[in-house]
Every structure is written in C-alpha cells, then in structure tokens.
Amino acid sequence: MTHTPNRVALGLGANLGDPPATFMRAVELLAAGGFEKAVLSPLYQTVPVECEPGAPPFCNAALTGDWPGGIAALLDLCQAIERQLGRPAAHLSRESRPIDIDILLAGERVVSSPRLRLPHPRLRRRLFVLIPLRDIAPDWPVPPGRQTVAALCERLLRRTPAPGAVIQPWPATRPPQDAASPPMA
C-alpha cells in the first residue's frame, strides 16, 4: 500500500541573527527529515506583532511541500529544527526569535488537539503569513469554507490601513544565488 504524502504549508519567521540564512538552513533540515518538493516564497520584512517593545523587524516567508508522515511527526521535526537553530525549548510565543516554524495548513485537514490546531488559528488575520503563502499557493482552499489563500489575503488587505507600513519585500542585502546553486523545488 502506497502512502500519499500530505501537502503542507509552513510559516517561517525570525528577527534575530541572519533570517535568510537561517531559513535556508531550516529548509535543508526539513528536507533531511523527509520534507519533499519544497517551494519557498519570497522573503518579507514585517513589523513585530505583539512582541516586546523595541523588537527588530521580522523576516517572514512561507514554505510548501509534501510530508510523507503524520502531522504530529512534522510538528516534532519543526520544533527540533527550531531548537537546533537556536530557539530555546521553553520560550514565550510573543518574543524575538532566531526561528519560528509554524504548520499553517495540511491539505484541507482540520485538526484541534492540545498540541496543534489546523488551519493555524491566526492564519486569516496575519498579512505576514497570507502574503508569502499567496505568492506560492494562491489557490489553496482553506477550511472551513474553502476560501482560497488569495481570497483571504485580498479580504484582509482591503481591511488593513496602509499595508505597506506592515509588510514589504525583504531588503536585498546579499548578492543573488549563483546559477550553479541547486533549485529549492
């Protein structure tokens, strides 16, 4: 019997260290753990939301791919990678961090457990999640209701005063990857 992988979407966030390099390392570690066909969105700079005063801007991205195992195993892998990349096991959810990896969606599954809720409970309210996800998965239906990521994003953009003050492309501070670098997808 062949097991069909779960199509999943992850949110990546960081505001300490070198977020772009940390994201690339996280993608490598996810792949080593079994995550396949990874597609990383463009990076965005966002203002800290509900973070400590004076927190630096965040870098945010979305990542889609196939996961061959159960969702609990993916959560375990994401948390292990966070720890490996410098996030303490015991941490506040609203503080500066070197990496945060959230499971946003797993196909059209709805999960409500003490460890995990899917879709991510704040997905519909966060431009810093929806805009990167729209870049790589605009037609993904989000349960309940099956509105697409693009539709949810457009709805939130209409309700957000001055979205450019909240989220914008990550500043290009490094030379582009050379053509010899392997593609992520």
Residue 181 has pLDDT above 80, yes or no: no
Contact between 167 and 44 (Cβ < 8 Å): yes
Classified as helix, coil or strand, 139 is coil
Q: Which of 27-41, 91-105, 132-146 is the least confident region?
A: 91-105
User: Domain for residue 52, yes or no?
Assistant: yes
Contacts of 160 (CB under 8 A, 6+ apart): 127, 166
In-domain check, residue 106? yes
Residue 18 domain boundaries? 6-169
> Cβ neighbours of residue 77 under 8 Å, at least 6 residues apart?
30, 33, 34, 35
Quick check: is 177 in a domain?
Answer: no
Residue type, 180: A
End-to-end CA distance of the chain: 26
Query: Could you tell me if residue 180 is inside a domain?
Result: no
**Residue 56 pLDDT more than 80?**
yes
Average pLDDT over residues 12-36: 96
Residue with tokens 């375990």: 76
Asked whether the beta carbons of 53 and 44 are under 8 A apart, the reply is no
Provide the 3-class DSSP secondary structure of residue 66: strand
Question: What is the spatial distance between Cα 51 and Cα 96, in angstroms, rounded to a whole number?
Answer: 7
176 in any annotated domain: no
**Does 42 map to a domain?**
yes
CA geometry: angle at 67 spanning 133 and 1, to 5°?
A: 140
pLDDT band per the 50, 70, 90 thresholds, residue 4: low
Q: How many domains, in total, are found in the chain? A: 1
CA distance 161 to 159: 7
Tell me whether residue 152 is in a domain.
yes
CATH of the domain at 32: 3.30.70.560
What pLDDT is recorded for position 183?
40
